[in-house]
A and B are shown apart, each in its own frame.
Chain A
Amino acid sequence: MATRFGTFLLGSLVPLLVSGALLPAPQNITILSTNMKHFLVWSPLTVPGEAVKYSIEFQGEYERDYANDSWIPIGECTDISATQCDITEDISATVPYNLRVRAAQGTEVSRWATLNGLFNRVTTSLIPPMLTVMADGYHLLVELEHLGPAFEFLVLYWRKGQENQVYEKVVRDSNTTVHLETMEAGAEYCVKAQTYVEAINRSSNFSQVQCVKAADSKTFSVIFAPIFFIAFVVAVFILFLLAWKTCQVCQYSCCPNEGLPDTLKLTESPAGIINYRGEEAEKCDMSVHVQPPDELLRFWIHDAL
């Protein structure tokens, strides 16, 4: 009994003697934990004078049971004037954590105030994920909110009216838009999703069901008909152009545009041809000019020189 009293006396007097302080310790210390983001929150101290600064320390199961009941200060939450601090980084394992806060004003320091009960991140509130379901033509797409690398998503989707045939897809990287399915024209598809955190082996509830309708084949034709029509006209024009060009080439190589000799022009009777005197001489005869050999030799010598 005496020892207990002694400890009590030491426990209550030593902080007072050391700091000489009457600064009250912070109160109402709680943890707000949603989607694996943890914040320590406490009530502000209302004391006159200088601004009050707060510091936080944490202790996991390891520090408590194997490292002499030690505490580790959180650098980012030391001498802060806010009455809350993000402790996500240090609540890093799925074990019970203890946290404590101390107030300071100038040289005065309060005693440590500890969290009421231990905190295990397994109790975090997992909120159903936000998702955007889209239909891009016949593609069923889903966009999931980004919650950090600890989160996976289980996406369930089905064709409306075929609820017994539900497909699922696990999405690990929520940064991108995910393609779920190629839809049938005009059909309505529905999607819901839940988050899963491997580190605590827990899932959130499912989000609200969201449905989209695939592009109708009618809508499809309304959008694409003019494009098809233009493509058709262009194709016909190109074909026509090609055919015309081919004909021209054929005509040039097979039927050159050269006048036929008169002799090949058939008249009514063979006698007509014999008696025909349209041309006095053959064309080739007229152009041939026979040179005497000595003149030819002179040309050669002239050329050679």
Chain B
Amino acid sequence: MGPFTCIVLLSFLCGTIVTKERKILQFGQCELSGISFRELRDYFGEIKETVQTQDNRTDVILLKESVLLGIPVSESCCLLRHLLRFYIESVFKATSNLLRRKTSPLANTFVRIKTTLRQCLDSNIAAIKAVGEMDILFAWMRDINN
């Protein structure tokens, strides 16, 4: 049921950006145009009911609004890119064949947005950063069990 929980959270993703009803969206240093939230809401509306009735893990929340709002604007571009990548590479793949046609509009729009957010850190810099910060990961793994 994991993927369904994720798709439910799409409502949040659409919901927060909706307030910026402008022609050009700004995520840190990334600019985004040609995105219609009306369209995204319609596409999500198509699958919302089916997906939410299948979601019985109400105790798990993947995207917390307060956490997303706490992200600095300068990092919003990369965050969005990584979230979209997660949806594209993991979430949509796990949806059933029956929903494939209905999730296609969202999946393709996500691909389109992701490719537009190019100004995010290039993968080399990100890899160096990730390796350099591995000690934080180890500390967390150790501490969470204590």
Our verdict on whether A and B bind, yes or no, reads: yes
Contact A62 B92 (CB under 8 A): yes
Judged by a CB distance under 8 angstroms, whether A201 is at the interface is yes
A92–B93 CB distance below 8 A: no
1/0 per residue A191-210: CB within 8 Å of B?
00000001111000000000
Binds A, one of B5-13, B108-116, B127-135: B108-116
- Contact partners of A149 in chain B: CB under 8 A: 38
0 or 1 for each of B10-31: is its CB under 8 Å from A? (1 = yes): 0000000000000100000000
Closest chain B residue, CB of each to CB of A75? B101
**In the complex where A198-B36, A201-B34 touch, is A60 in contact with B108 (Cβ < 8 A)?**
yes
> Main secondary structure on chain B at its contact with chain A?
helix
Count chain B residues whose beta carbon lies closer than 8 angstroms to a beta carbon of A: 22
Known contacts A92-B39, A199-B39, A201-B23, A62 near B101 by CB under 8 Å? no
Q: Of all chain B residues, which has the CB nearest A198?
A: B36
CB-CB under 8 A for A90 and B39, given A198-B34, A201-B34? no
- Chain B, Cβ-Cβ closest to A68: B93
Q: Are B88 and A62 in contact (CB under 8 A)?
A: yes
Question: For A62, what are the chain B residues with a Cβ–Cβ distance below 8 Å?
Answer: 88, 92, 104, 107-108, 110-111
Quick check: B107 and A200 within 8 Å, CB to CB?
A: no
Decide: B36 and A95 in contact? CB cutoff 8 A.
no
Contact between chains at B39 and A66 (CB < 8 Å): no
A235 beta carbon closer than 8 Å to chain B:
no
Asked if B88 contacts A66 (CB within 8 A), the reply is yes
Which secondary structure dominates chain A's binding surface?
Answer: loop
Known: A122-B34, A198-B23. 16 other contacts (CB 8 A): A62-B108, A62-B110, A63-B104, A66-B88, A66-B89, A66-B93, A66-B111, A72-B100, A73-B101, A90-B105, A92-B109, A93-B112, A94-B34, A95-B109, A149-B38, A199-B39
A residues within 8 Å of B by Cβ?
60-63, 65-67, 70, 72-75, 90, 92-95, 122, 149-150, 198-201
| Chain B residues near A (Cβ < 8 Å) | 23, 33-36, 38-39, 43, 88-89, 92-93, 100-101, 104-105, 107-112
* Interface pairs (14), CB distance under 8 Å: A62-B111, A67-B92, A90-B101, A90-B105, A92-B108, A93-B108, A95-B111, A95-B112, A149-B38, A198-B34, A198-B36, A199-B35, A199-B39, A200-B34
